[in-house]
Amino acid sequence: MSVFSLAGRKALVTGANTGIGQAIAMALAAQGAAVTCAGRSPARETVDAIKAEVGIADDLALDLSDPLAARDIFAGQGYSILVNNAGIIRREDSIAFSESDWDDVMDINLKAVFFTSQAFAKACLKAGETGAIVNIASLLSFQGGIRVPSYTASKHGVAGLTKILANEWAAKGLNVNAIAPGYIATNNTEALRADPTRNSAILERIPAGRWGVPADIGGTAAFLCSPAARYINGAVLNVDGGWLAR
């Protein structure tokens, strides 16, 4: 069996109904995993696309605006892969940023990531099984950004959380890593792509010369969940077309 195979594994991907989450779910399924596509809104399009390619998938309603929403979904269910992809962004000048926009973003992007990971780890450790967690970080895990204070804080937090969980769980058979996507063409970046000045400035800095697409992240996630990555722990892997190398 290939060291990249996920055959016989069961995965849950949050925010799998569109964009990066959808691409990750499809990439895991392509390597043989049975994928639960979780989201606040139905992920039927993702499930149908996976099944059309002879993959295995199901749908799960999961609203992570309640950071503890996943506390009861892992026990006894055989999951060995978790991808914490669900996230939101709010844009406003820092001088005018509201408490509600701060809390909404932090609850989903950081607090839910921790408590979903905790529930997953408890189930794996109780069952005596190994597993892999992949968190979706951001270039703003390293940089400050503009007009997205809660998003930047949350993604810095995801990077730190990835490292502490790896420190505590690596020896117990749980690999915890993160992907920091660069500028990917998704709903979250629509405002940037629609701004000619920002779009041009971004493209000028990317050595690859293009915006990324969700599939660029999907393959990386599948790798980090596979046996080929079993000695990668606590990494935050940039998938950014070379943006941070510039």
Q: What is the pLDDT of residues 8-30, one digit of tens each?
A: 999 999 999 999 999 999 999 99
Residue 168: C-alpha distances to residues 133, 158, 162, 233 (Å) = 13, 15, 10, 11
How far apart, in whole angstroms, are the C-alpha atoms of residue 204 and residue 108? 32
59 part of a folded domain? yes
88 part of a folded domain? yes
Given this model, what pLDDT does residue 113 score?
98
3 part of a folded domain? no
Whether 7 contacts 198, CB under 8 Å:
no
For the cut 90, the answer to whether the pLDDT of residue 189 exceeds it is no
Which band of pLDDT confidence, cut at 50, 70 and 90, is reported for residue 226?
very high
Residue 231: C-alpha distances to residues 6, 81, 160, 166, 228 (Å) = 16, 16, 19, 11, 8
The count of structural domains within the chain is 1
Global confidence as pTM? 0.96
Give the length of the chain: 246
Closest by alpha carbon to 162, among 179, 183, 185, 142?
A: 179
199 part of a folded domain? yes
86 part of a folded domain? yes
Given this model, what pLDDT does residue 51 score?
97
For the cut 80, the answer to whether the pLDDT of residue 188 exceeds it is no
Residue 100, domain CATH: 3.40.50.720
Given this model, what pLDDT does residue 54 score?
86
| Residue 79 backbone dihedrals phi, psi, to 5 degrees | -75, 135
How far apart, in whole angstroms, are the C-alpha atoms of residue 237 and residue 218? 13
Tell me what the pLDDT averaged over the chain comes to.
97
For the cut 90, the answer to whether the pLDDT of residue 59 exceeds it is yes
Residue recorded with tokens 């964009």: 19
53 part of a folded domain? yes
Strands 34-39 and 174-181: unpaired
Q: Which residues pair with 164 in a beta bridge?
A: none
For the cut 80, the answer to whether the pLDDT of residue 40 exceeds it is yes
143 part of a folded domain? yes
Q: What is the pLDDT of residues 72-102, one digit of tens each?
A: 999 999 999 999 999 999 999 999 999 999 9
223 part of a folded domain? yes
- SS3 at position 172: helix
* Cα four-point dihedral sign 45, 239, 148, 200: negative
How far apart, in whole angstroms, are the C-alpha atoms of residue 117 and residue 162? 10
How far apart, in whole angstroms, are the C-alpha atoms of residue 47 and residue 34? 11
Q: What is the pLDDT of residues 208-219, one digit of tens each?
A: 999 999 999 999
Range of the domain at 140: 10-237
For the cut 80, the answer to whether the pLDDT of residue 1 exceeds it is no
Q: What is the share, in percent, of the chain residues with pLDDT greater than 90?
A: 96
Q: Is 151 marked active-site?
A: yes
Q: What is the pLDDT of residues 109-157, one digit of tens each?
A: 999 999 999 999 999 999 999 999 999 999 999 999 999 999 999 999 9
For the cut 90, the answer to whether the pLDDT of residue 191 exceeds it is no
